[in-house]
Structure 1
Amino acid sequence: LYWVVSISLVFINKWLLSNSDILLDAPLFITWFQCLVTVILCIILSKVSSAIPDKLSFPNLDFKWQTIMPLSCVFFTMVVFNNLCLKYLDVAFYFVARSLTTVFNVVLTYLILHKKTCCKAIACCGVIIAGYITSVLQENGLGTLSLSGLFYGLSASFSVSLFSIFISKKLPNVDGSVWRLTFYNNLNTSVLFIWLNSQLGVFISYLGFFFWSMMLISGIFGFAISYVTTWQIQVTSPLTHNISGTAKAAVQTIIATILTLHFKSILWWLGNLMVVAGSIAYAYVRHKLRVVVEKDDSSAER
């Protein structure tokens, strides 16, 4: 389910952001609309849950948006750069373009949390970086590399890492509820988009039914990805989820190359394979370290 929702969302967003049949260039509006749909769906589910709590469990929501505004600003940059990266790069290269998230996470964990990372994890990051450089050079050699897309990919990776570090600090402010956090982030981001977005007027007269249907579907899928991500972690484990996400990205890359008929070189695929292998190895190393720490803590309590 996670794979279906996630891959579908990427391809829908790519169609909305880059389709030549849509003579509009407004990626910020598209991102704003998706955040707005998530806000509306959260409110609806909260109301329904209050009416039938025995059949649907969803937290009550209020509008204390100031609670996590700093985190929402990071979330804002994350969703903007993600979609801009997807706009300027092929879906096949989208995963690699954002693959330095793990590397940034190690760096920011040291700079912000003052926590060091073990040598094995750093070695995994080295494999990811080598794969990233290989893929970038090959993409450039094929003439399909966008420097703007590459910049947005790096910015998205940095924002995702920063968000993952700050999120643990802000969860207590929403009573540990992922859904409240999702609601606040999308609500605040929607407001920020209205303030910054000069593209809103462009869409007032653009009433194509198919376009708006795709916009609505993308918003629903954007909301659904929050649910299925949480669900997958709950029914499996964070390690399984990380490996599943990396494997999903690899399958997404293969599907994209088949659909677009953009055949890549052996070195291009080797670079992708290195990124996938490094990411999975890093997730495994972090998991093993977490298990060791938990065992040490339980032993100390005894």
Structure 2
Amino acid sequence: MDNSKVLFRQWLKIGGAIIFYWCNSIGMIFFNKFLFSSKDLDLNAPLFVTWFQGIITVLFCLIGGITIGDSIPIIGTFPKITFDFKMASNCLLLSVVTAISITFKNLTLTKIEIAFYSVSLAMGTIFTVLFSWMILKQRISIVIMLTCVVIVAGFALSVEQQRELAGLSMVGLFYGVMSSIIGPLSQIQLKRTLSIVNNLWVLTFYTNFNVLFIYPVLSIMLGEYESLMKFKQLTNPFFWVLLTLSGFVGVSLSIAISLQVSLTSPLTSNISGVAKNCIQTVLAVLVNPEAKSGTWWLGNLAILGGSGAYTIVRMEEMKVQTVKVVSSEVKMEEGIVDEKS
């Protein structure tokens, strides 16, 4: 086959995976926004919704192990899951941190409009850098610091403009900042736990299984039980169909993330996420037309630009570190060979 055709097919796969991720991720945000805070639905129970979506994910992982297995290697292997208490306990800390992170993220979505949602979570990059320095003892370069300055400046500008133009829920902003703090800790714990579990879908199963017992506790603490008892459409089949559909979108998003990771580089995946946030913001403004000033857009662009620049710089630094490690290992092997000879 012609090299150009092979290359075209590869780019088609990559482009398809990225677009599939964008559609699922943006669709999930709009879907959850409707379920969390739609006046037509009038359901004030975001954690109940998330809990039900978790049930769909757990069932999918179980059924996937029986029906899919390794027949679709591009999205990872689905092993048949026999419940292992030790494995569940290994994933418990990740489940707790993930549950808290998602709780704050979903509470943010109940208070913040979608157009401002990406901004409200923008400080996640800053806390990622901070925790990498504090917990993982990584050196922070000047260039990384400069990208963080751009993000913070864009965040401050966007918050001020949002407050002046359309009003801003300070509670929602607080939830967003808390999610930005917990999110990076969740990612750090994810990497640690994945090294123990060694299979993304097994990790997904046990993390979500544990979360099924955590969310009801958080839900009761936030008073969602009373909201559910007052919810008029609890016996409406259409509501449950809608809820189940949102669960399948969540599963589809997990598959989309796996596809994107498997077909692209970490740099491409991260840049794709930044581009998705940009498209998501534009779509939200088009769906709910409100006057947005040039300064408002400038703040958003600063955040997106700073986040994109951070991703590129961080990936380049990781490449340099990898080359140094490989080089030092080669020198050590050569030294051992020389000593033996």
Q: Which TM class, normalised by the smaller chain length?
A: over 0.9
- Equivalent residues of 1:108, 1:162 under 8 A apart: yes
- Equivalent residues of 2:54, 2:247 under 8 A apart: yes
**How far apart are the structure 2 equivalents of 1:85 and 1:125?**
22
Opposite residue 153 of structure 1, the aligned amino acid is G
**CA shift for structure 1 position 166:** 1.5
The residue number in structure 2 matching 1:154 is: 177
Q: TM-score, normalised by structure 1?
A: 0.94
Q: TM-score, normalised by structure 2?
A: 0.84
Opposite residue 107 of structure 1, the aligned amino acid is L
In the alignment, structure 1 residue 170 sits paired with structure 2 residue 198:
no
Q: Where does structure 2 lack aligned partners over 5 or more consecutive residues?
A: 1-19, 331-341
Q: Where does structure 1 lack aligned partners over 5 or more consecutive residues?
A: none
- Equivalent residues of 2:154, 2:299 under 8 A apart: yes
Opposite residue 114 of structure 1, the aligned amino acid is K
**How far apart are the structure 2 equivalents of 1:291 and 1:47?**
39
**CA shift for structure 1 position 204:** 9.6
1:232 paired residue among 248, 260, 275: 260
- Equivalent residues of 2:37, 2:43 under 8 A apart: no
Write the deviation string for residues 264-287 of structure 1: whole angstroms up to 9, x where unpaired: 111110000000000000000001
The residue number in structure 1 matching 2:79 is: 59
**CA shift for structure 1 position 113:** 1.5
**How far apart are the structure 2 equivalents of 1:194 and 1:40?**
18
Q: How many residues align?
A: 299
- Equivalent residues of 2:111, 2:172 under 8 A apart: yes
The residue number in structure 2 matching 1:183 is: 205
- Equivalent residues of 1:68, 1:173 under 8 A apart: no
**CA shift for structure 1 position 54:** 4.7
Q: Indicate the SS of the match to 1:197.
A: helix
Moved more, 225-234 or 146-155: 225-234
The residue number in structure 1 matching 2:214 is: 192
1:133 paired residue among 125, 140, 156: 156
Q: Indicate the SS of the match to 1:20.
A: coil
**CA shift for structure 1 position 194:** 2.6
**CA shift for structure 1 position 55:** 6.2
Moved more, 186-195 or 132-141: 186-195
Moved more, 284-293 or 201-210: 201-210
Write the deviation string for residues 4-54 of structure 1: whole angstroms up to 9, x where unpaired: 11110100001111110112211111111111111111111112246xx55
In the alignment, structure 1 residue 24 sits paired with structure 2 residue 24:
no
Cα distance 1:268–1:55, how it changes in 2: closer, same or farther (>3 A)? closer
In the alignment, structure 1 residue 82 sits paired with structure 2 residue 110:
no
Structure of larger gyration radius: 2
Opposite residue 191 of structure 1, the aligned amino acid is F
**CA shift for structure 1 position 215:** 1.1
